[in-house]
């Protein structure tokens, strides 16, 4: 018996709960009686009790007897803890037990026994139910923990990828497919544009594209919306916050993988590439103009067949255009019959590698049948991959002068990259596991099955001559912790070599130990090869200029010195101003005047320098100039199409001497005639 909270007497029933001998708590219940016990139990059937079970808050089981509403005030409850679950059990007396109880102990025991049977049966039922529910919960708990672990790993990888993309040198934009407003823009784009992310969230691509309006941009992305195209690649221009414009190459895609579709744009600033292309075009055109407009004839032939001829050759031979020279049967058809055997023998012996004269004169047949004396300077070159003979002709009959011959630049810069071929990678240093993006596999010409996905497998793809340098750069980054940036070659499965720009950053643990390295790889083969070709072309141009027997100088349109050959510098005593590209013409003329080689400049150097600069800017024709006591040169100046001035200096000392001798001879004849007449 026990006193209940309401103050009335009652019976406390306690049932222990065990599973395989292990104690898991108990089930308890109270039976409450009126204050006065003067009557016996009228009907002690156990079915008259009402039992209710709660799990926490909700009622999950009910067995109702009679008179439930009246019994609610007399219900007894107990908490049951089993297998980590909390339950509440309530036992309500039946209507018969609500009466006044009196009589013998046997009557009470009957009532207690009946209630005990109910609670005991109830405990067995709910213990079994709890066990089943516990197993379900445990399974669900294990599955939930596994899902959490997988999601944390995925979120970690996504965070690393997001960090790489956010710090990429490329500009990366995500904008909503419906509103076209920017959703996310990486740090590189924000820095280049000058806008913050807060500002960009209220902007669309049309706000930063200098050459698109809304209608044009809608037409641009229409194929992506319709599914007609997977991506759109174009070159356009972006406008910064300060109003400046810069060219970009854009790679645009539509992603439908998220809750809302977004457009993804990977953008590369191609300002440097455009400048390089423009500089190369200007250089190539300048060199082409020089050789086409040169007064020095240039002709290239192989086995007698003319491969190239400039306009000077056509003028020397009296033809209208170089096309007439290319149409000749062979190069020997323009050589006088008397000289054909000699020039043909030279050419054949030269192709066999034998030593023959490289500087000689021969007679040429002009279109009208007349003869012209040409000075021939010969070199063997590679033309379209095979040996050929290149000759420089100077018409010594009419002009006795030569103009620099420039070979056409062999370098041809590849068309700029239209697609930003860039991938990202992640190297787990502790496990030696290397993760590549799909683009990295495409750059390397590999598949996930073919590639070993380790750092060692990556090194196997690096060109043997570059492998030590790459390892050194990686080890230095691991030791110093500084990002690294390196160009190296890779060898594809088919033997093809590509040049890759690698950039990477190292991650360290709390103890300063490197644990991870991540970065990007970009194919820069075409750019590097173009730079090498341009350098070779420049070197070839300088060599061609240096091989001329005439003095040559190229002055830019702004009167700054571009280059000179050693022959030109020798005429003026090798002054420093002729050796230094970038020296202004006014400084050059003043330095020449101060050499004392020009008689009319002595004592009036500054005035003569001004006069010479003026005549240089407005050339009127060939200039004969005496240098020192006994040397004469002829200066021919001609402007190129870009405004530069090509200057050719020919040594005419021998000609002047002959003219002097001729005048003296004529004078002696005249004197003799006068004496004879007397």
- 567: nearest Cα among 581, 550, 545, 554: 550
**Is the per-residue pLDDT at 285 higher than 60?**
yes
Sequence-separated (6 or more) residues with CB below 8 Å from residue 619:
637, 638, 639, 645
Q: Tell me what the mean pLDDT of segment 166-181 comes to.
A: 87
> Other C-beta atoms within 10 Å of 184: how many?
17
pLDDT given at position 304:
79
DSSP code at position 47: G
Sequence-separated (6 or more) residues with CB below 8 Å from residue 338:
363
Q: Tell me what the mean pLDDT of segment 290-307 comes to.
A: 79
Q: How far is CA 493 from the centre of its chain?
A: 23
> Other C-beta atoms within 10 Å of 407: how many?
22
Q: Tell me what the mean pLDDT of segment 594-605 comes to.
A: 88
DSSP states along 373-387: EEEEEEEEEEETTEE
CATH of domain 422-530: 3.30.450.20
- 547: nearest Cα among 566, 526, 569, 573: 566
pLDDT digits (tens, 9 = 90+) for 11-33: 444 555 555 555 555 555 544 44
Sequence-separated (6 or more) residues with CB below 8 Å from residue 395:
297, 316, 372, 373, 374
pLDDT digits (tens, 9 = 90+) for 139-155: 655 665 665 566 555 45
Q: What φ, ψ does residue 665 adopt, rounded to 5°?
A: -65, -45
Task: Specify which of 164-173, 307-316, 662-671 reaches the highest per-range mean pLDDT.
Answer: 307-316
The whole-chain average pLDDT of the chain stands at 76
What's the rounded Cα separation, in Å, for the pair 592 and 602?
11
pLDDT given at position 618:
86
296-395: CATH topology is: Beta-Lactamase (3.30.450)
**Is the per-residue pLDDT at 440 higher than 80?**
yes
Domain boundaries, the chain: 2-139, 167-269, 296-395, 422-530, 548-658
- Coil, helix or strand at residue 566: helix
How far is residue 492 from each of residues 448, 458, 496, 586, measured CA to CA in Å? 15, 11, 5, 56
pLDDT given at position 533:
85
Top-confidence residue, 247 or 277: 247
- Coil, helix or strand at residue 504: strand
What's the rounded Cα separation, in Å, for the pair 348 and 353?
9
B/e letters for 89-105, b = 16+ CB within 10 Å, e = fewer, are: bbbbbbbbbbbebeeee
Task: Find out if CATH 3.40.630.30 is the number for domain 167-269.
Answer: no
**What is the CA angle 549-554-560, rounded to 5?**
145
> Other C-beta atoms within 10 Å of 576: how many?
10
Is residue 588 within 8 A of residue 610, CB to CB? The reply is no
Top-confidence residue, 475 or 161: 475
What's the rounded Cα separation, in Å, for the pair 624 and 622?
7
Top-confidence residue, 453 or 64: 453
**Is the per-residue pLDDT at 424 higher than 60?**
yes
Q: Which range, of 24-38, 442-456, 508-522, 552-566, averages the lowest pLDDT?
A: 24-38
Sequence-separated (6 or more) residues with CB below 8 Å from residue 324:
314, 367
pLDDT given at position 138:
63
**What is the CA angle 510-513-519, rounded to 5?**
100
pLDDT given at position 659:
85
What's the rounded Cα separation, in Å, for the pair 306 and 544?
20
Q: Which range, of 44-53, 263-272, 288-297, 336-345, averages the lowest pLDDT?
A: 44-53
Q: Tell me what the mean pLDDT of segment 574-603 comes to.
A: 86
pLDDT digits (tens, 9 = 90+) for 636-676: 988 888 889 888 989 888 888 888 888 888 888 787 777 77
Beta bridge partners of 554: 563, 646
Q: Tell me what the mean pLDDT of segment 46-58 comes to.
A: 53
pLDDT given at position 224:
93
**Is the per-residue pLDDT at 53 higher than 70?**
no
pLDDT digits (tens, 9 = 90+) for 182-224: 999 999 899 999 999 999 999 999 999 988 999 999 999 999 9
pLDDT given at position 597:
87
pLDDT given at position 102:
34
pLDDT given at position 319:
87
DSSP code at position 550: S
pTM of the model: 0.29
Structure confidence at residue 44 as a pLDDT band (50, 70, 90)? very low
pLDDT digits (tens, 9 = 90+) for 334-352: 888 888 888 888 888 887 8
Is residue 80 within 8 A of residue 17, CB to CB? The reply is yes
How far is residue 148 from each of residues 134, 143, 162, 219, 361, measured CA to CA in Å? 21, 9, 20, 44, 90
**CATH homologous superfamily for 548-658?**
PAS domain (3.30.450.20)
pLDDT given at position 678:
65
B/e letters for 197-213, b = 16+ CB within 10 Å, e = fewer, are: eeebeebbbebbbeebe
pLDDT digits (tens, 9 = 90+) for 355-392: 888 888 888 888 888 888 888 888 888 888 888 888 88
Is residue 264 within 8 A of residue 255, CB to CB? The reply is yes
């Amino acid at each position: 018996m026990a006193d209940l909270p309401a103050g009335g007497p009652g019976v406390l029933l306690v049932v222990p709960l065990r599973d395989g001998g292990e104690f898991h708590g108990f089930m308890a219940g109270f039976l409450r009686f009126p204050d006065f016990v003067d009557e016996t139990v009228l009907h002690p059937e156990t079915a008259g009790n009402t039992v209710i079970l709660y799990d926490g808050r909700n009622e999950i089981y009910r067995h109702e007897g009679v008179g439930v509403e009246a019994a609610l005030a007399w219900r007894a409850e107990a908490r049951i803890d089993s297998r980590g679950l909390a339950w509440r059990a309530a036992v309500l007396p039946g209507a018969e037990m609500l009466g006044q109880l009196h009589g013998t102990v046997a009557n009470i025991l009957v009532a207690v026994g009946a209630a005990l049977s109910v609670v005991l049966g109830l405990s067995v039922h709910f213990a079994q139910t709890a066990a089943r529910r516990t197993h379900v919960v445990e399974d669900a708990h294990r599955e939930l923990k596994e899902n959490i672990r997988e999601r944390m790993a995925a979120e970690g990888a996504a965070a690393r990828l997001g960090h790489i993309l956010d710090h990429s040198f490329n500009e990366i934009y995500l904008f909503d497919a419906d509103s076209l407003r920017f959703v996310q823009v990486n740090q590189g784009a924000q820095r280049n544009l000058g806008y913050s992310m807060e500002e960009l969230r209220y902007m669309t691509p049309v706000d930063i594209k200098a050459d698109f309006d809304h209608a044009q941009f809608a037409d641009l992305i229409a194929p992506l919306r319709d599914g007609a195209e997977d991506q759109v690649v174009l070159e356009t221009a972006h406008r910064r916050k300060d109003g400046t414009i810069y060219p970009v190459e854009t790679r645009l895609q539509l992603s439908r993988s998220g809750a809302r579709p977004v457009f993804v744009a990977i953008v590369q600033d191609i300002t440097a590439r455009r400048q390089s292309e423009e500089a190369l075009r200007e250089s190539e055109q300048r060199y082409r103009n020089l050789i086409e407009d040169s007064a020095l004839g240039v002709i290239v032939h192989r086995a007698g067949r003319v491969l190239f001829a400039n306009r000077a050759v056509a003028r020397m031979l009296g033809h209208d255009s170089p096309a007439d020279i290319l149409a000749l049967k062979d190069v020997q058809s323009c050589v006088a019959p008397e000289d054909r055997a000699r020039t043909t023998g030279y050419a054949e012996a030269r192709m066999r590698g034998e030593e023959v004269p490289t500087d000689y004169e021969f007679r040429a047949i002009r279109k009208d049948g007349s003869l012209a004396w040409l000075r021939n300077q010969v070199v063997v070159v590679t033309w379209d991959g095979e040996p050929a003979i290149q000759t420089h002709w100077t018409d010594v009959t009419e002009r006795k002068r030569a103009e620099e011959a420039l070979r056409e630049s062999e370098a041809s810069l590849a068309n700029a990259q239209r697609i930003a071929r860039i991938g990202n990678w992640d190297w787990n240093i502790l496990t030696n596991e290397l993760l590549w993006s799909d683009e990295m596999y495409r750059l390397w010409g590999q598949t996930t099955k073919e590639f070993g996905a380790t750092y060692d497998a990556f090194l196997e793809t690096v060109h043997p001559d570059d492998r030590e340098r790459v390892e050194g750069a990686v080890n230095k980054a691991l030791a110093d912790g500084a990002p690294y940036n390196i160009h190296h070659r890779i060898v594809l499965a088919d033997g093809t070599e590509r040049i890759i720009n690698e950039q990477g950053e190292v991650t360290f643990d709390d103890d300063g130990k490197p644990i991870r390295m991540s970065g990007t790889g970009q194919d820069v083969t075409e750019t590097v090869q173009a730079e090498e070709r341009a350098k070779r072309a420049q070197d070839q141009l300088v060599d061609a200029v240096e091989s001329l027997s005439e003095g040559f100088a190229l002055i830019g349109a702004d009167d700054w010195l571009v280059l000179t050959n050693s022959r030109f510098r020798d005429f003026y005593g090798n002054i420093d101003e002729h050796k230094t590209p970038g020296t202004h013409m006014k400084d050059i003329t003043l330095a020449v005047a101060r050499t004392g080689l020009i008689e009319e400049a002595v004592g009036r150097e500054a005035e003569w320098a001004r006069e010479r600069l003026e005549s240089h800017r407005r050339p009127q024709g060939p200039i004969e100039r005496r240098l020192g006591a006994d040397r004469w040169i002829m200066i021919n100046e001609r402007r190129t199409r870009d405004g530069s001035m090509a200057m050719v200096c020919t040594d005419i000392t021998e000609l002047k001497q002959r003219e002097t001798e001729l005048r003296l001879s004529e004078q002696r004849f005249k004197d003799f005639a006068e004496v004879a007449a007397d």
